[in-house]
Amino acid sequence: MIMLFFQTAESCAKEKSIINSFPGDVMSPWEGGPAYYSKWSNGPSSSPNFFPIAVWLQNPADPTSGTYKNLGINTYIGLYKGPTENQLTAISSIPMVTICDQNIIGLNSVNKNLIKAWLQADEPDNAVPGTSVPTPISTILARYSEMKSNDNTRPVFLGMGQGVAADLWYGRGDRTNHPEDYVEYSKGGDILSFDIYPMNVYDAPVGSASWKLSYHNLVKQSPWLVAHGVDRLREWSNYSKSVWTCIECTNYKGNAAYALTPEIVKAEVWMALIHGARGLIYFVHTITPFVEAGLLTDTQMMAGISAINTQITSLAIVLNTQSVKNGVTVNSENQAVSVDAMIKRMDGYTYLFAVAMRAGSTTVSFTLRDFTGNQTIEVLGEDRSIKSINGGFKDSFSGYGVHIYKVKNE
């Protein structure tokens, strides 16, 4: 096998890692990696060993706040009615960094180095309460310009709602089923995000209007919509901006039919990453009853989140490289259970990330392009390996299963 070796100046200087490209590799669009953040002197870390893993709207001064860092979370997004000096001081003591609203305190605080991006108002694409229309796009763009004028050393973060992934989301009022709006919304941020929590959506109440039934039938128990939203937001921003996504990790409505498990959260995370998400945000509240740090009341889910984040952090330097578009062929024997995959190459190894996009079980045949002879493929985090011949091997998937494979380039 012939390999071409090249490095970015940044990875040479910081990590001495070598990205291996095979002849014939076609690379996927690449935006939002470490080099993207390096455009801002006070922006998110541009270290290839850093992958953004955030928690949404939590109180850093709460005595349990350090637990999030122990779970592998490295960023607070949203500071309630802040930032205040007390909030920033609390973050510095954890320590962690934040993405928050822009105000006088944030612009001038002795702790302003902890602020890595400015936060637009959340979900401006949803209808303003009491109206049937979203915040005008012109308002979002004007606020973006104002923030950049006040401080151009940090990016602007714009988080949008579930209309990114579900056109039938009726929370957009008169702009329901108008996905074309998002091309313009995308101009209001440097880091883009959205939220959809499909495992917390169930059958619509009996007698619901047709528009409500249509939405629930589309979204309920459909975790793959997380990946769909990532695909669309990347495309709408012309593959030029970093796209993050929010991940549900609580039964926030208190529904007795609660279906979310750590395994499904893991699947949602890897669906997002395999489809090109450059950062993750965990929604950890429960609404019924209201508990701000709802995740921290569920020891099973905490353990699952910790394991997910540990694996992501250990693979950050790999995830922060460009993917190979044509590196693998995937064939699922059960056509009802499709499996999506991502290929990356680094330091003489090929990494294959794969996730089942539907519930159920299947056996999947993978063929890694340009591999010859016999290889031993390590299945990361599972204490097992698989033998392959000429790059071909099989593995089983069930229940939105996730497998990550590592094979030496030889």
pLDDT in tens, 340-398: 999 999 999 999 999 999 999 999 999 999 999 999 999 999 999 999 999 999 999 99
pLDDT > 50? residue 13: no
Identify which has the larger pLDDT, 112 or 9.
112
**Residues 6 or more apart in contact with residue 242 via CB below 8 angstroms:** 31, 32, 36, 37, 155, 190, 191, 192, 278, 279
* CATH tag, 34-319: 3.20.20.70
Q: What are the domain boundaries of the chain?
A: 4-27+323-408, 34-319
**Confidence band, pLDDT 50/70/90 cuts, at residue 14:** very low
What pLDDT, in 10s, does the model give residues 193-203?
Answer: 999 999 999 99
Q: What is the pLDDT at residue 247? A: 98
pLDDT band with cut points at 50, 70 and 90 for residue 6 = very low
Q: How many CA atoms lie within 13 A of 360 on its CB side?
A: 13
* Nearest of 110, 116, 219, 101 to residue 161 by alpha carbon: 219
Tens digits of per-residue pLDDT, 306-319? 999 999 999 999 99
Q: How sure is the predictor about 91, in pLDDT bands with cuts at 50, 70 and 90? A: very high
* Residue % of the chain over a pLDDT of 70: 96
How many helices (H) and strands (E) the chain has is answered by 12, 18
Entry field: residues in the chain:
410
Over residues 21-79, the pLDDT tens digits come to: 899 999 999 998 899 999 999 999 999 999 999 999 999 999 888 899 999 999 999 99
Compute the distance between CA of residue 331 and CA of residue 393 in angstroms, rounded to an integer.
11
CA distance 56 to 116: 15
With CA atoms as reference, report the closest residue to 122 among 347, 262, 281, 346. 281
Helix (H) or strand (E) segment spanning residue 87:
helix 85-93
Average pLDDT over residues 181-190: 98
Pick from 267, 164, 170: nearest CA to 211 = 170
Residue 332, token pair as written in the block? 């699922």
Bridge-based pairing of strands 384-389 and 339-346 is: unpaired
Q: Is 179 exposed, middle or buried (0-12, 13-18, 19+ CB in 10 A)?
A: middle
Residue 32 in tokens: 């939002």
Model pLDDT, residue 17: 63
What are the structure tokens assigned to 167, written together? 């056109």
The confidence band for 228, taking pLDDT boundaries of 50, 70 and 90, is very high
CATH class of 4-27+323-408: mainly beta
Query: pLDDT grade, residue 259 (50/70/90)?
Result: confident
At residue 19, does pLDDT exceed 90? no
Beta bridge partners of 386: 377
Dihedral sign computed on CA atoms, order 76, 78, 82, 83: positive
pLDDT bucket at 10, cuts 50 / 70 / 90 = very low
Handedness of CA 383, 375, 398, 161 (dihedral sign): positive
Share of the chain above pLDDT 90, in %: 90
Position 15 pLDDT exceeds 80? no
